[in-house]
Amino acid sequence: MAEHLDSTGDFPIRVRGVKNVFGEHVVHDGLDLDVRRGEIIGVVGGSGTGKSVLMRSIIGLQIPAEGEIEVLGSTITDARDDEDIDIRSRWGVLFQGGALFSTLTVAENVEVPLREFYPEIGDELRHEIARYKVLLSGLPAEATSKFPSELSGGMKKRAGLARALALDPELLFLDEPTAGLDPIGAAAFDSLIKGLQQTLGLTVFLITHDLDTLYEICDRVAVIADKKVIAVGTIPELLATDHPWIQEYFNGPRGRAAKDAQNRNDAAKDAQNRNDAARDAQDRNAPTGVVDNRPAGQA
């Protein structure tokens, strides 16, 4: 008997036995994956292993030749076209290039899904929601009236993120969000994603080649190779496997550099926490917040 997939509970995304084929080219064959509610799952694999095709299959833009995909309780693989998928408003997607409409301002881009899914919302409220999403994505208020061509690469990503967040999604799909950003911009984007996951309770499906992102913000990592998800787990769990690609990826020079960087960040955060704790203890011991500097006898 076929296993019953339950994507309404702890696993909002469940993928079973998926096969994707383009002509003679088999991209996935027997691919399984469960995504846990509230996690950031990183999806890695060599170029062309089908990370984006998997994401497109999960959001109904690519119908697999075989297999079953359930998202938030709906069987995506039964839909005839993406209009059939009535849960599209419950996820947001940031595509690789941002996919912003070049003739619309940032705010108008964010308003596109609002107009589509909630046409009854009045202009004023729609503008207000769009403005809030732009600010939530770390852009200044002035960015709302800018066109994509007037934005830097990092700002375009944030504008794409604002649009992905327009409908208060439960699931956020990100395809290489830090590609093309400088290391400082990439780290800032990582922090933004982590903060949003924690404050909004998002489940995040994140395709990346960025090892720093994997170490910094991903709860688990799924590795695609040989047309399947060959392993999924925390980085230490993956390192305990002996698959050559996983070993080379995480233990190669870039993997080691990312791990060292994370160790340094962790040490800096620990030191900061210790300082904060010491300062809090000092503040608690002080009888008032006022320091009395008057010479003895005058107090």
Ligand X SMILES: Nc1ncnc2c1ncn2[C@@H]1O[C@H](COP(=O)(O)OP(=O)(O)OP(=O)(O)O)[C@@H](O)[C@H]1O
Using DSSP's 3-state secondary structure scheme, residue 165 falls into coil
185 phi, psi to nearest 5 deg? -65, -40
Q: Quick one: residue 188, left, alpha or beta (phi over 0 = left, psi -120 to 50 = alpha)?
A: alpha
Q: How far is the CB of 195 from ligand X (least distance, A)?
A: 26
Q: Is-contact 137 158, C-beta < 8 A?
A: yes
- Cβ atoms < 10 Å from Cβ of 290: 7
Among 50, 113, 138, 154, binds ligand X (CB under 6 A): 50
Q: How far is the CB of 214 from ligand X (least distance, A)?
A: 14
Which neighbouring-strand residues pair with 207? 43, 175
d(CA 209, CA 48): 12
Among 51, 126, 156, 158, binds ligand X (CB under 6 A): 51
Among 5, 53, 143, 166, binds ligand X (CB under 6 A): 53
Query: Which of positions 22-41 make contact with ligand X (CB under 6 A)?
Result: 22, 27
Characterize the bridge pairing of strands 25-35 and 13-22.
antiparallel
Nearer of residues 47 and 102 to ligand X, judged by Cβ:
47
Q: How far is the CB of 22 from ligand X (least distance, A)?
A: 4
| Closest CA relative to residue 205, chosen from 18, 36, 32 | 36
Nearer of residues 56 and 163 to ligand X, judged by Cβ:
56
Using DSSP's 3-state secondary structure scheme, residue 101 falls into coil
Q: How far is the CB of 160 from ligand X (least distance, A)?
A: 16
Q: How far is the CB of 176 from ligand X (least distance, A)?
A: 7
The first and second tokens of residue 234, run together, are: 């925390």
Nearer of residues 112 and 226 to ligand X, judged by Cβ:
226
Q: How far is the CB of 179 from ligand X (least distance, A)?
A: 9
Q: How far is the CB of 82 from ligand X (least distance, A)?
A: 15
d(CA 287, CA 297): 20
Among 5, 11, 35, 45, binds ligand X (CB under 6 A): 45
DSSP letter (8 states) at residue 64:
-
Spell out where 90-148 has E strands. 91-94
From the list 42-50, 105-113, 193-201, 237-245, the region that binds ligand X by CB under 6 A is 42-50
Among 2, 47, 290, 295, binds ligand X (CB under 6 A): 47
Query: Interface with ligand X includes 59 (CB under 6 A)?
Result: no
Query: Which of positions 164-183 make contact with ligand X (CB under 6 A)?
Result: none
Query: Interface with ligand X includes 197 (CB under 6 A)?
Result: no
Q: Is-contact 214 235, C-beta < 8 A?
A: yes
d(CA 181, CA 162): 17
Can you give the binding site for ligand X, defined by CB under 6 A?
A: 22, 27, 45, 47-53
